[in-house]
Amino acid sequence: MLIIPCPWCGPRAEQEFHFAGEPKARPVPAEQVSDQTWAHYLYHRSNEKGAHRELWSHAHGCGRWFVMERDTHTHQILSTKAPA
Amino acid sequence: MRYSAFNLIRHGLGNPLGWGPAWKPASLKPSYDAIIIGGGGHGLASAYYLAKNHGIRRVAVLERGWIGGGNTGRNTTIVRSNYFFGESARLYDHALKLYEGLSEDLNYNIMLSQRGVINIAHSEHEMELMTRSVNAMLLNGIDVELLDRKQLLAEVPLANDAPDARFPLHGGFVQRRGGVARHDAVAWGYARAASQLGVDIIQNCEVTGFIRDQNRITGLETTHGRVSAGVFGLAVAGHSSVMAAKAGFDLPLQSYALQAMVSEPLKPILHNVVMSGRTHAYVSQSDKGELVFGAGLDLYPSYAQRGNLPTAQEIIAGLLEIFPAFRRLKMLRQWAGIVDVCWDYSPIIGPAPVDGLYLNCGWGTGGFKAIPAGGWLLAHLLAHGKHDPLSAPFDLTRFQTGALIDEAAGAGIAH
Ligand SMILES: Cc1cc2nc3c(=O)[nH]c(=O)nc-3n(C[C@H](O)[C@H](O)[C@H](O)COP(=O)(O)OP(=O)(O)OC[C@H]3O[C@@H](n4cnc5c(N)ncnc54)[C@H](O)[C@@H]3O)c2cc1C
Ligand SMILES: [Zn+2]
């Protein structure tokens, strides 16, 4: 069981949260983006073993989004902060 | 040595220690024709079919732990081919057909038990979707049958049929050729048969890096030193992204923990494999009498090889909704494996973005059933440098062309 520190609500149980993938910037302008770049944006992931940047939402709490850095090998939470 | 009734009696009466190791101890040579990274079922089967189907015997399998110690030795051993799309049906049925002859082919009893895999529908709507899936499977030539409520209860008399059941029984479908096989035996059987054909199986040998000549992989750095080869196969399941990063590319995968557990042993109580898409729970009874069961993935990416408690509770809750009779059982063990999940829940088989390297990954929660086919097809790629028609749709380029094979939506249940 992870206890996740929501930047707004403080420490709460993992069931209140929703993992939503790795944060990424959408490639623009759309008409100039190659199929390869678009496929990488949509589907490819760094999927790191170790420190991993992740987008989460406090779905069953304040409902807000935040960025979490978490070690995927130990499950240690390294930091949570509001998205830039 | 051949395993046979005669040899069993001879060794039983004579020297019971005279069997010798099942596969030969081997140490890393400086070079090979082909090297497979990862000694799970897919890697070992690839080596076996390279030697058997293509006559390529200067082959090594490099395993960082012990063979079969990854997902191959951690899974719930369900085999079936009841997939929605034709591409998948052909792939998984090829595997099931090979499984049907595997004990004889390998001279190793993999304890294939085709006891039937039953999927339950809990509502009229689910039954309608299931009927559509079953029709698609029948068109693909897969042997499935719809079950109405009465037929379902005849097959699974313990399922919760109470009027106030949270998940009522509406009907279901069955693949009678589906069932279970012994996971360790699949790994050991392939290892033994490959070793007899000359393949080096090297355990406790971790691949730590790739040696490149421009865009071509020519060798590997390992904990046993450097080694070179003509071609390389990557079959490391949950660690595929980690290895891809070392070779300079990334993959459309995310690694998750998938957990399973077993109860204390019981007398025979459940004679088929039962799955419920609504609760995600699925269960079978092992030859030792334990109930073997699991459900969906843990909720976030992980390389931790242990399941988290909230998911464990959900798995047990799902099982008990369907089988209230199991409520008082004690659990013996719980564990997890790290599975590499693709967005369309289909595997990736094909060339990597660097030359000389071929991929067999993305099997996610359901690649045990595919081991013979995954090995068969990776061996073909390594031997010929191009696809067998069976593996072509599973090429990495489908993520660019958009030709995904969306079994998450199609077949519904993974494993
Ligand atoms: C709990 C659970 C239940 C499952 N249930 C089912 C089921 O009922 N039916 C089904 O069909 N599938 C099931 N699966 C999925 C199935 O287990 C896998 O898809 C399948 O075993 C994958 O086989 P593999 O050979 O690709 O991987 P693995 O068996 O994981 O082998 C990969 C090997 O690569 C090695 N490796 C990794 N990195 C390196 C390195 N750098 N150097 C050398 N070696 C390395 C690992 O140590 C490992 O032994 C389940 C999985 C889990 C975890
Ligand atoms: Zn919050």
**With 70 as the cut, is the pLDDT of residue B212 above it?**
yes
Task: Using alpha carbons, select from B132, B102, B105, B106 the residue that is nearest to residue B114.
Answer: B102
> How many helices, marked H, and strands, marked E, lie in chain B?
12, 18
Shared domain for B173 and B205, answered yes or no, is no
For residue B127, the one-letter residue type is M
- Residue B217 within any structural domain of the chain: yes
- For A25-83, write each residue's pLDDT tens digit: 999 999 999 999 999 999 999 999 999 999 999 999 999 999 999 999 999 999 999 98
Q: B14 vs B10, B17, B394, CA distance in Å?
A: 6, 9, 51
In the 8-state DSSP scheme, what is residue B64? S
Q: Report the alpha-carbon distance of residue B148 to residue B168 in Å, rounded.
A: 13
Cβ of A44 within 8 Å of Cβ of B399? The answer is yes
> How many helices, marked H, and strands, marked E, lie in chain A?
1, 6
Shared domain for B172 and B260, answered yes or no, is yes
**With 90 as the cut, is the pLDDT of residue B234 above it?**
yes
- Residue A30 within any structural domain of the chain: no
- Residue B8 within any structural domain of the chain: no
- Residue B304 within any structural domain of the chain: yes
**With 80 as the cut, is the pLDDT of residue A84 above it?**
no
Domain CATH number, residue B359: 3.50.50.60
Shared domain for B194 and B329, answered yes or no, is no
- Residue B10 within any structural domain of the chain: no
Instruction: Give mean pLDDT, residues B22-46.
Output: 97
- Residue A31 within any structural domain of the chain: no
**Which ligand is located closest to the Cα atom of residue A61?**
2
**With 70 as the cut, is the pLDDT of residue B76 above it?**
yes
State the CB neighbour count (10 A cutoff) for residue B327. Answer: 9
Shared domain for B64 and B34, answered yes or no, is yes
Q: Does ligand 1 have an atom closer than 6 angstroms to the CB of B369?
A: yes
- A49 contact residues in B (CB cutoff 8 A): 239, 241-242, 255, 303
Q: What is the distance of C-alpha B143 from the center of its chain? A: 21
| Number of separate domains in chain B | 2
H or E segment to which residue A19 belongs:
strand A18-19
Closest CA–CA distance from residue A84 to any residue of chain B (Å): 22
Residue nearest to atom 19 of ligand 1 (CA): B367
Which of B326, B341, B356 is the endpoint of a domain? B341
- Residue B38 within any structural domain of the chain: yes
User: Whose structure tokens read 């071509």?
Assistant: B216
- Could you tell me which chain A residue has the CA closest to the CA of B309? A1
Q: B13 vs B17, B100, B257, B272, CA distance in Å?
A: 11, 32, 46, 37
| Number of separate domains in chain A | 1
Closest CA–CA distance from residue B394 to any residue of chain A (Å): 15
Cβ of B308 within 8 Å of Cβ of A2? The answer is yes
State the CB neighbour count (10 A cutoff) for residue B333. Answer: 10
Residue B411 pLDDT: 64
Q: Report the alpha-carbon distance of residue B337 to residue B319 in Å, rounded.
A: 20
- Residue B21 within any structural domain of the chain: no
CB of B115 closer than 8 Å to CB of B79: no
- Residue A74 within any structural domain of the chain: yes
In the 8-state DSSP scheme, what is residue B251? B
User: Whose structure tokens read 């070793």?
Assistant: B195
Shared domain for B77 and B152, answered yes or no, is no
- Could you tell me which chain B residue has the CA closest to the CA of A40? B252
Q: Which positions ≥6 away from B1 have C-beta within 8 Å?
A: B7, B19, B20
**With 80 as the cut, is the pLDDT of residue B412 above it?**
no
Q: B121 vs A76, B111, B169, CA distance in Å?
A: 39, 29, 6
Residue B114 pLDDT: 98
CB of B223 closer than 8 Å to CB of B63: no
Residue A77 contacts B, CB cutoff 8 Å: no
- For B102-147, write each residue's pLDDT tens digit: 999 999 999 999 999 999 999 999 999 999 999 999 999 999 999 9
Which of B319, B341, B363 is the endpoint of a domain? B341
- For B177-199, write each residue's pLDDT tens digit: 999 999 999 999 999 999 999 99
pLDDT confidence of B415, banded at 50, 70, 90?
low
Residue A72 contacts B, CB cutoff 8 Å: yes
Q: What percent of chain B has pLDDT over 70?
A: 98
Shared domain for B165 and B220, answered yes or no, is no
Cβ of A19 within 8 Å of Cβ of B300? The answer is yes
State the CB neighbour count (10 A cutoff) for residue B287. Answer: 11
Residue B14 pLDDT: 86
Interface test with B, best of A3, A47, A74 (most B CBs within 10 A): A47
The whole domain housing B317 covers 117-178+255-341
Task: Using alpha carbons, select from A57, A72, A63 the residue that is nearest to residue A19.
Answer: A57
Shared domain for B31 and B170, answered yes or no, is no
- Residue A40 within any structural domain of the chain: no
Shared domain for B335 and B271, answered yes or no, is yes
Cα(A59) to ligand 1 centroid in Å equals 32
Q: What percent of chain B has pLDDT over 90?
A: 92
Q: Which positions ≥6 away from B274 have C-beta within 8 Å?
A: B118, B120, B156, B159, B282, B283, B284, B322
Cβ of A72 within 8 Å of Cβ of B301? The answer is yes
- Could you tell me which chain A residue has the CA closest to the CA of B310? A1
- For B47-73, write each residue's pLDDT tens digit: 999 999 999 999 999 999 999 999 999
Shared domain for B302 and B203, answered yes or no, is no
Residue B168 pLDDT: 96
- Supply the ipTM of this predicted assembly: 0.96
pLDDT confidence of B12, banded at 50, 70, 90?
confident
Closest CA–CA distance from residue A30 to any residue of chain B (Å): 15
Residue B413 pLDDT: 55
- DSSP letters spanning B202-236: E-S--EEEEEEETTEEEEEEETTEEEEEEEEEE--
Name the token pair of B404: 């995904």
Residue B176 pLDDT: 98
The whole domain housing A11 covers 1-24+51-84
- For B326-362, write each residue's pLDDT tens digit: 999 999 999 999 999 999 999 999 999 999 999 999 9
pLDDT confidence of B153, banded at 50, 70, 90?
very high
Residue A2 contacts B, CB cutoff 8 Å: yes
Domain CATH number, residue A3: 3.30.2270.10
Q: How confident is the prediction for chain B on average, in pLDDT?
A: 96
**With 60 as the cut, is the pLDDT of residue B25 above it?**
yes
Name the token pair of B322: 């369907």
Residue A48 contacts B, CB cutoff 8 Å: yes
- For B367-405, write each residue's pLDDT tens digit: 999 999 999 999 999 999 999 999 999 999 999 999 999
Closest CA–CA distance from residue B309 to any residue of chain A (Å): 6
Shared domain for B210 and B311, answered yes or no, is no
Q: What is the spatial order of strands in the sheet that A18-19 belongs to?
A: A18-19, A51-57, A65-71, A77-81
Query: Would you call B110 exposed, middle or buried from its count of C-beta atoms within 10 A (0-12, 13-18, 19+)?
Result: buried
Shared domain for B97 and B129, answered yes or no, is no
